[in-house]
Structure 1
Amino acid sequence: MKHDPEASLPLDRLSSGIPGLDEVLGGGFFRSGVYIVLGMPGSGKTIFANQLCYGHVKDGGRAVYVTLLAESHARMLQHIRPLAFFDESHIPERLSYISAFRDLETDGLKGLMDLLRREMRARRVSVLVLDGLVAAAEAATTDRELKKFIHEIQTSAVFHGCTVFLLTSGNGQRVSAEHTMVDGLIELDDRLFEARAERSLQLRKFRGSGSLRGKHAFRISDAGIEVFPRLESVFLQPPTAQSEGVALSSGVPSLDALLAIGGFPEASASVVIGASGTGKTSLALHFLSRSSAAERGLLLSFFESPSRLLAKARGFGLGLEALESAGALRLMWRAQGEHVIDELGHQLLTEVREGGYKRVVIDGLSGFFEAATYPERVNRFFSCLVNELRRLGATVLMTIETRDAIGTSVALSYGVSGFVDNLLFLRFAEDNGRVRRLLTVTKMRSTDYSPGVHALEIGSAGMRIAGLFSSDGDVIPSAHRVDQAAAQAQPSTTDGPSKQE
């Protein structure tokens, strides 16, 4: 058997033009391939195909959209006209809409195939969409006839260098004759999770290369379709090794004094856990107050708006507004709603990657937890999210609220302690008719720390550790002077980094 040199050449790729989808495909569709896009009515097939066509012609290609038993072209264009990818200037020179139902009715699959060949040849198209494969399947008298039709499409696609997309209703649970022959099978789904719905995309079959398996969420908005690959299927690289002995100040000098290296280890992940009012957000704001041009800060918040957070910081004299104006700090707010957890994760990573942020705060992990439609994913999701943030060089501080306002222990949900390096526990304690705030450092992976229960005070001057809290309710002042000395020597928050070695 002679070796065919062309058989060893890599296949050319065709970008889908749909954000996030090429990543799932491992680089895009293969040119001259034949793909089936299936899903129940309303799952997004028509928008998917149109967005693909408009993206292709925008890049200089030519496309034709062929319909069988589908909505009229006028109605279809009315529906997609408000979407950002729609551009009427490409019609009909680079993108044509053609109805082939009469050819199918008159001459069956042969008449349909003749029309498809003519369009590929005459218009020199590089993308062809056939919307309504189910009608073609119904016109076939046997599975063999339908397979022959698919085979002829494949032959013409290769001959004319055209990539073909066949749209059909249904789901991938039932194996049909045409499924066995095509190069790829993309299923779109829209599923209810109690009262909310989430759309997902799955590659049930994809010949020619590796791809991201499983379901990946997508959203349809005024911009069209955007796919959010599952974080745990994308970000598999280990985090960057930490610089030994390098720390970022917590923003609270007396807390830094409890930690052997004088702050949180660089490129580490910390969680502050406690009931409402214990000081979690206040500590996060102090951490961000040490942001600078060299250590830019980013805050993602779900529960308090930027204006409220800035007002709270102003009450402590932290000056976050000046940092924000100087570009050293960015506040992201995602009001509670029906979020997609992978969308939130990708948005955060994109901000950190493009902005080079070194101090990253997620204020309210429950905002992520509530976005998860599959709770069993949460631990893997956060492990990959935190690892990628650390790999990008970010030192991460996250907060999570507990239900018990006063208590000595707490159960961590979703295995939080497993994917973080450092854990701080804030709580209230009764003391002779008074309620005190207490702080305990319960875990530090790469540095020593001062154990014990520490009294935490929050006032107009900010946050400070007042000393050890004894079992009889006394406070042993061991660290309060650290705040005063450090405040005098504290560097400007806008001139340079606050790393300590």
Structure 2
Amino acid sequence: MTPSPSTLSVLERLPTGIPGLDVVLGGGFFRAGVYIVQGQPGSGKTILANQICYSHVAAGGSAVYMTLLAESHSRMLQHIRSLSFFEERAIPDRLCYLSAFHDLEAEGLKGLVAVLRREMRARRVGVLVLDGLVAAAEAAETDRDLKKFIHELQTSAVFHGCTVFLLTSGSPQRVNAEHTMVDGIIELEDRLYEARAERAIQVRKFRGAGSLRGRHPFRITDDGLQIFPRIEALFSRPPESAAERRALTTGVSSLDALIASRGYPAASATVVVGSSGTGKTTLGLHFLSQSTTDEPGLLFGFFESPARVRAKARAFGFDFEELESAGALKLVWHSQGEHMMDELGHRLLAEVAQRGVKRLVIDGLSGFFESAVHPERTNRFFSCLVNELRERGVTVLMTLETRDVVSHVVYAPYGISGFVDNLLFLRFVEDNGRVKRLLTITKMRDTDFDVGMREVRIGSHGMLIAGLLTSDGDIIPSAEPAEPPRRPSPTLPVGGDEQKS
């Protein structure tokens, strides 16, 4: 008799306790499901399974970790006891480590099923790990016997409400008999990209719900696994909220005067492109100098430490230490190293969410670009990241360094013009033995702007935008260049009186 849909209960989820994994799975594993976790030796299967067990017992449940031909329990515990999730007091009452190899060797798969059923029933476990599925597969005389073993295991799991994880080092390239029977297949891998290695997790099969497709990078740290769902998979939808019809001052009055909205449109993304020394970071510091507790700022940088940033700001008359003390500004720095692009993206979004950031400067987009093991992802990555920042009401200014020092050519490298709203170029030009800085606004989506090449001067008060550059190299003076606006108190409304104009 076929059950009516109205009589079927909704499957409950089992939280994994692994940061990012429940997001990839769309809410966690389903309770009473049977899942294969596969990967080559060293890919992280044992840590993942133990992390799930300890998370489950920490929430009040009980678990069994059963091994066949795997490393000894004492050796395993020596390896994981340094990880933060390890809790020695949970052993053996709430988490029990057992070996079933002798039962398998003596009675085959029938004896193994009997042991697993007995432990589910006696200990009322919510999570059971069988480490060494390869040994069970080798004990099966035929594929049919192995399928029968999986079927009986599923029946017991449903009856006892136990979620089962089968760990194996089997090849992911071959479809084995057990793959067709289980509720899901999770694959861990550790790949080498030239001199650099990156770990990734992939959900190859998951019955009952949609999961985030593709590979998602992860790290193994002292806290265990931490998974970073790919930004373009997680935030693939465009922003739904309407753009705010206001502007945030750039922090440079003479630049605001060139923009019809008198600043960057709210919740927009701006990229400032230029070679080293043209003033990209300086423009970012001006923008952050207008941060308040009502409109907090964040510098997310790669190439200058917070101490150097504070010193540079101080030279322009900006007291970043005061802003930081008031909670209006935070400086986050990443030293050069082997970062993962999605890890950086999630770290950035976490800072934005935690502090309610409204003014964001990413100083050095190349820090993201250089972290990508798949460079073809960068445009999709930033398009989705920027959309998510817009959705959160963040106005972001990004800097990107070009290689040419003195140039008369204006171009947008890396295809960045497609995912940003506003594009500014800072460059050097040579004129009769003198080098001048020039600013050109080439794109602004939601506001009109002055088109032309403007001279940029950087002095003790920071940046000033002067007059137009003519074809013969002369500067057409504009109105007296305005001084940078005075920085508002961290507790004042955003932008001061300038926002009212």
**What is the alpha-carbon distance in structure 1 between the residues aligned to residue 305 and residue 263 of structure 2?**
27
Q: Tell me the residue number matched to 1:439.
A: 439
Q: Tell me the residue number matched to 1:259.
A: 259
Q: Tell me the residue number matched to 1:497.
A: 494
Q: Which amino acid aligns with 1:248?
A: L
Q: How far has the Cα of 1:306 moved from its partner?
A: 0.4
> 2:197 is paired with a residue of what secondary structure?
strand
Q: Tell me the residue number matched to 1:270.
A: 270
CA 1:301 to 1:477, structure 2 compared with 1: closer, same or farther past 3 Å?
Answer: same
- Is 1:220 aligned with 2:220? yes
Structure 2 contact 297–329 (Cα < 8 Å) conserved: yes
Deviation by residue 1:83-133 (Cα, 9 ceiling, x = unmatched)? 011001100010000011111111111111111111111111111000000
**What is the alpha-carbon distance in structure 1 between the residues aligned to residue 500 and residue 382 of structure 2?**
28
CA 1:33 to 1:416, structure 2 compared with 1: closer, same or farther past 3 Å?
Answer: same
Q: Tell me the residue number matched to 2:114.
A: 114
Structure 2 contact 461–483 (Cα < 8 Å) conserved: no
Q: Which amino acid aligns with 1:201?
A: I
> 2:272 is paired with a residue of what secondary structure?
strand
> 1:481 is paired with a residue of what secondary structure?
coil
Q: Tell me the residue number matched to 1:241.
A: 242
TM-score of the pair, normalised by structure 1: 0.97
Deviation by residue 1:241-296 (Cα, 9 ceiling, x = unmatched)? 2222x110111100000001111001100000000000000100010000011111
Greater shift, 431-440 or 473-482, is seen at 473-482
Root-mean-square deviation (CA, aligned residues, Å) is 1.3
- Is 1:355 aligned with 2:355? yes
Q: Tell me the residue number matched to 1:28.
A: 28
**What is the alpha-carbon distance in structure 2 between the residues aligned to residue 397 and residue 115 of structure 1?**
60
Deviation by residue 1:62-102 (Cα, 9 ceiling, x = unmatched)? 10000011111000000001101100110001000001111
Q: Which amino acid aligns with 2:492?
A: D
Q: How far has the Cα of 1:318 moved from its partner?
A: 1.4
**What is the alpha-carbon distance in structure 1 between the residues aligned to residue 323 and residue 76 of structure 2?**
49
CA 1:453 to 1:178, structure 2 compared with 1: closer, same or farther past 3 Å?
Answer: same
Q: How does 1:404-483 map to 2 (within 5 A)?
A: 404-483=404-483
Structure 2 contact 292–488 (Cα < 8 Å) conserved: no
Q: How does 1:302-381 map to 2 (within 5 A)?
A: 302-381=302-381
**What is the alpha-carbon distance in structure 2 between the residues aligned to residue 423 and residue 74 of structure 1?**
59
Give the fraction of aligned pairs with identical amino acids, expressed as a percent: 68
**What is the alpha-carbon distance in structure 1 between the residues aligned to residue 181 and residue 387 of structure 2?**
40
> 1:155 is paired with a residue of what secondary structure?
helix
Q: How far has the Cα of 1:475 moved from its partner?
A: 1.7
Q: How far has the Cα of 1:139 moved from its partner?
A: 0.8
- Is 1:293 aligned with 2:290? no
Q: Tell me the residue number matched to 2:85.
A: 85
**What is the alpha-carbon distance in structure 1 between the residues aligned to residue 234 and residue 30 of structure 2?**
21
Deviation by residue 1:161-182 (Cα, 9 ceiling, x = unmatched)? 1110000003321100000000
Q: Which amino acid aligns with 2:139?
A: A
**What is the alpha-carbon distance in structure 2 between the residues aligned to residue 133 and residue 6 of structure 1?**
37
Q: Tell me the residue number matched to 1:129.
A: 129
Q: How far has the Cα of 1:238 moved from its partner?
A: 2.4
Greater shift, 285-294 or 404-413, is seen at 404-413
Q: How far has the Cα of 1:500 moved from its partner?
A: 4.3
> Which runs of no fewer than 5 residues in structure 1 stay unpaired?
none
> 2:481 is paired with a residue of what secondary structure?
helix
Q: Tell me the residue number matched to 2:10.
A: 10
Q: How does 1:137-152 map to 2 (within 5 A)?
A: 137-152=137-152
Q: Which amino acid aligns with 2:470?
A: S
**What is the alpha-carbon distance in structure 2 between the residues aligned to residue 5 and residue 423 of structure 1?**
55
Q: How far has the Cα of 1:234 moved from its partner?
A: 1.0
Q: How far has the Cα of 1:443 moved from its partner?
A: 0.5
Structure 2 contact 464–481 (Cα < 8 Å) conserved: no
Structure 2 contact 231–342 (Cα < 8 Å) conserved: yes
Structure 2 contact 326–490 (Cα < 8 Å) conserved: no
- Is 1:185 aligned with 2:182? no
Structure 1 contact 55–85 (Cα < 8 Å) conserved: yes
Structure 2 contact 187–202 (Cα < 8 Å) conserved: yes
**What is the alpha-carbon distance in structure 1 between the residues aligned to residue 102 and residue 21 of structure 2?**
34
**What is the alpha-carbon distance in structure 2 between the residues aligned to residue 500 and residue 447 of structure 1?**
16
Q: Tell me the residue number matched to 1:174.
A: 174
Deviation by residue 1:368-392 (Cα, 9 ceiling, x = unmatched)? 0011111111101000000101110
Structure 1 contact 306–333 (Cα < 8 Å) conserved: yes
Between the two proteins, the alignment pairs up a number of residues equal to: 497
CA 1:481 to 1:401, structure 2 compared with 1: closer, same or farther past 3 Å?
Answer: closer
TM-score of the pair, normalised by structure 2: 0.97
**What is the alpha-carbon distance in structure 2 between the residues aligned to residue 500 and residue 334 of structure 1?**
37
Greater shift, 104-113 or 218-227, is seen at 104-113
Structure 1 contact 267–394 (Cα < 8 Å) conserved: yes
Q: How far has the Cα of 1:355 moved from its partner?
A: 1.0
CA 1:219 to 1:7, structure 2 compared with 1: closer, same or farther past 3 Å?
Answer: farther
**What is the alpha-carbon distance in structure 2 between the residues aligned to residue 101 and residue 152 of structure 1?**
18
Q: Which amino acid aligns with 1:387?
A: N
Q: Which amino acid aligns with 1:370?
A: E
Structure 1 contact 128–165 (Cα < 8 Å) conserved: yes
